Structure 1
Amino acid sequence: MSLKNDILFFKSEVLSILNTNEKMEYEGSSLYFLNQEKFLEIYKLYEAATKTFNESKLSRKAKDPFFQIAKLFGDKENQIIAYKLYIKHKYKNITDKEKVKHKIDAIHSIEINKINNNLAELIKNTNDNYQVTKLKKEADKKIKSVIEKKEFLLKDFENLDIVISTFKKKDTYPTIKVINTKQEAKIEHLRLEVPNIINTHNNMFVLDEDNLRKNAKHIKFLLEAEHAFADIFFKKK
């Protein structure tokens, strides 16, 4: 069979098992808490898929047996004894001065392209010459500000504390912390595109602890910093 047909076959087999089980919806993801017997049925399919994809001469990514089928938590030896669901925020902070300096030009170019592309879209949707002129003036003003801020940052670079941060517009995604019967803890993303299948211990419980940590250092910096443009923030030393 082709890779596509293999994936469709295993997906159909997994869904036929899951159809008899209740599911939990969490922030766009689907979770299935299976008992040991049902989970082992899924795990047999996982092992068969692993063998099938490993025998085909495909790329490493394509051989991932369950990436397009399901995500498993636990294995045939280890059940999940405790879990906690929460939303995790994803953001990046670049503080290394050389990396920051290297990226300022690239981010500056991306920001100007974004302004120009946005202008093109707005102009495309209007035939009003006055409105077009107004939109162009606003875009020129934004571009001028970005150029001036970039020149300021580079000129006074050594006297500024500059961070490239997406903290203010951080993305969120559903996350699960699981602890298995070996008392090993893992924190993983929940997949939105495929079922998340948990090998559930009979006495599984929900963790009553707060695993979310606020990064006080980043919060403090961004409260005191000025916004240059895009994801760049700065404050005088």
Structure 2
Amino acid sequence: MMRRWGTLAVIAWLAAGCTTPTQLVVVVDSDYAVGTEIDTVDVVISSAMGRDEHRFALAETGLPFSFGVLPAVGDPEPVVITVSGMLSGESVTRHEVHTRFLPGRRLQLDVPLARACHDDLEQESTCSDSGQRCLYGACVPAEVDPETLADATGELPDLFDGTTPSDAGGPADAGPPPPADSGPPCVAGEQCYPGVPCAVGRWTCVEGERRCEMVMTCEELGATCGEGGRCQR
């Protein structure tokens, strides 16, 4: 499912009068229920030039939603974008990305606030302690090369489209669920994560076995990266 960007959330960070097209368009989505599991999203944007904070009420924005980040100066200085899913003022899950602007480019940066990261608190802590970020339950580099980001098109992608909800069970022919120590539930429809082309960073069922394993590239699935960044056989 895709949605057009609205005008409800634009951060002109430290550059209110700037007309440059240089921008990061951050798309935020989550598989948490709005209102009962997360109700706001807190954003902190920082670099050597300063720091800005903003809070988005999900009752107004819904999910997914987007906001724009403009550089303070024309140089492509490094920027850290921290997005936290909150409930009643308490942090539920957190996603931090380190990247840069590309002069003259309007780039899309996807930030999925995934239940898989919060449900396994040890995994989330392990990622953070090692200077990485948790993405769909996997530790991946916090640094995102802006050259790997696609140009913003005006569409709002569903960052959890095609996944199996945590309470939906596995495929009909998958047999009994895997043991509790075999990792998060298997996920159907792997999706490439931003920053590393054709990397999925999700769990997939191992054919013929009742366990899951981490798959990091489409090639490992015997697939290619197709339209919308999805692995296709």
Bucket of the pairwise TM-score, normalised by the shorter protein: under 0.3
Per residue, is there more helix in 1 or in 2? 1
Per residue, is there more strand in 1 or in 2? 2
* Larger-Rg structure: 1
Tell me: higher relative CO, structure 1 or 2? Use CA pairs within 8 A at least 6 residues apart.
Answer: 1
